[in-house]
A and B are shown apart, each in its own frame.
Chain A
């Protein structure tokens, strides 16, 4: 067991997969000579050379499409978006080409590609750089969507994503890159579509993913001091969703709150609420609540920004409300 930062775990996964399979390559803005805008890809150019670690101009639609075409004929691209905000200009490529080419070709062509980069809010980067894009991507059949919270899961899910024959949207977080965690020496893949109960509890279930898993754990710690036993489910994957783990937890606790970044209208949280009210209706003692980003573009001002993003205080308030405390 070693302690790695989230960014190091991602890098290690990519390096191991590129060493294992010469068809895997990495492409994106500043991934090579600059060593990565967030240093995730540091040292990879030196290790693999310019053929396999490819700096691009600022052309997200262009290099997303390049990756998709290359994947269709057998390469296994890792396409980095400097942040997922910029994937908006490549959205057509992901929606109409990556996600659909297998189905509209009657299963003749696969698109084994990983799109990756930081997602969600960072710190005071304003309304255009703070999007939680999972709510757009998780709705698209043909894609898989993962959002790990810990270094070990980041590594294992990255390896699984690179080996997957389907397009995978891999959501990281600028605020998680320096987070440290234990990573087993012999870690291979973490399966896509399997959630993890990261804290056992009896009174209420918090369902979260990516950075919000850490917020949920923080809230659970505070709640414990008030005598409330909180269970935390870290989804890890958003498509497919691990219904079984969510349902099992709710059957135990009878109460549930979904914590996620991004706007409350529709999205991943709404999807989870829909599934749980159908699959675990008899187990629920209260309506399922959601703690999400406020329904406004992200403000720049630091205090306002922190008010908009779900934090432990808002989660605790929801916990108390649901338990009538």
Chain B
């Protein structure tokens, strides 16, 4: 089911390798490059507020979403750029949203943490840790209510597994057999606090046992492996209407947000993780699949052009007009 997961995003350059890894590498590389440029734009003052980068975790979002059909739903946290792109959002809409422009996915009203794209069933990034997990269960509830066989993926970090919303959502999803996959992106730090100081257990996936829910746990270095393992949970949701808790172990190469110098870890630790960069591995796998250096260079050049275009688009787009505020707050007349 997964190979045709993103028909809209099939590379226009049809001469390039058709193996799935080519498209996954393209997405991962695109996310990496968009975010590197976003970090630069943030430093230049073009992006305000918070900016939580996904750099280092790209294999999780790209691999997981490759296991979905386009009609499936995704709900995630504030670290949402990579997930949005993998769900099919255009680079232009993403960058324009970061720039706070009217052409952004949320019209410049949401910003980095609130990437919504109805067309692609991207139901948003949310800024309150754990607050979106019950909401995601509700999306799955609606799918079951309608019997439409859609699956919902809900992403969150290891920092979310202590808060009530996580437990209430898992409890209800298991009780009511909802077609959802809860994906904990364990990047080892709850902002600046390591897991060892936030959790009494090292294995997050065992939280599922208390709810009688299926679980899985693996390292997300290889995007192909992520896709395979998430596909098992997606099948359980789609075919049996059962939830799964999946702990995907990953690592973020940047701080929690732009203001975080990440002094809570050593340069050596970071370098060790960077040596297992999932993007580098995806590139290697692409070559192994039969692509030439020239093929890969073409993908990278296309990505570069897309990034340049998205930045130009964001730069040149207009700011939202103040008149959008009331009609976006209420459907129908403003209620004051």
Contacts and interface: CB of A to CB of B under 8 A. Distances in A.
Interface string B64-77: 00000000010100
Interface string B148-191: 00000000000000001100110110010000000000000000
B26 to A, nearest CB: 26
B59 interface: no
Interface in A255-304: none
Contacts of B107: 106-107
A42 interface: no
A241 B336 contact: yes
Interface string A189-233: 000110000000000000000000000000000000000000000
B168 A59 contact: yes
Contact of B137 (A25, A62, A241): A62
Interface string A62-101: 1111111111111100000000000001001100110001
Given A57-B172, A105-B110, A51 B145 contact: yes
A178 B201 CA distance: 52
Interface residues of B, number: 52
A93 B105 CA distance: 23
Contact of B135 (A69, A164, A239): A69
Contact of A66 (B105, B123, B127, B172): B172
Contacts of A127: none
A103 B142 CA distance: 22
A75 B123 CA distance: 15
A67 B139 CA distance: 9
A64 B104 CA distance: 29
B124 A104 contact: yes
A61 to B, nearest CB: 5
B335 A193 contact: yes
Contacts of B108: 106
A72 B142 CA distance: 9
A56 interface: yes
B220 to A, nearest CB: 25
A165 B330 CA distance: 8
B135 A68 contact: yes
B63 to A, nearest CB: 24
Given A66-B141, A67-B138, A239-B336, A57 B171 contact: yes
Contact of A104 (B116, B134, B138): B116
B211 to A, nearest CB: 12
Contact of A108 (B116, B168, B324): B116
A175 to B, nearest CB: 27
Given A69-B137, A102-B329, A166-B331, A97 B131 contact: yes
Interface in B304-336: 324-325, 327-336
Nearest to B169: A62
Nearest to A243: B336
Contacts of A239: 335-336
B335 A102 contact: no
Contact of B128 (A92, A101, A108, A142): A92
A106 B116 contact: yes
Given A25-B145, A96-B127, A141-B329, A65 B105 contact: no
- Sort A-B residue pairs by CB-CB distance and give the 10 closest, nearest first: A69-B138, A65-B134, A62-B168, A106-B107, A105-B116, A106-B106, A66-B138, A165-B331, A240-B335, A69-B135
Interface of A: 25, 51, 56-57, 59, 61-75, 89, 92-93, 96-97, 101-110, 141-144, 164-166, 192-193, 239-241
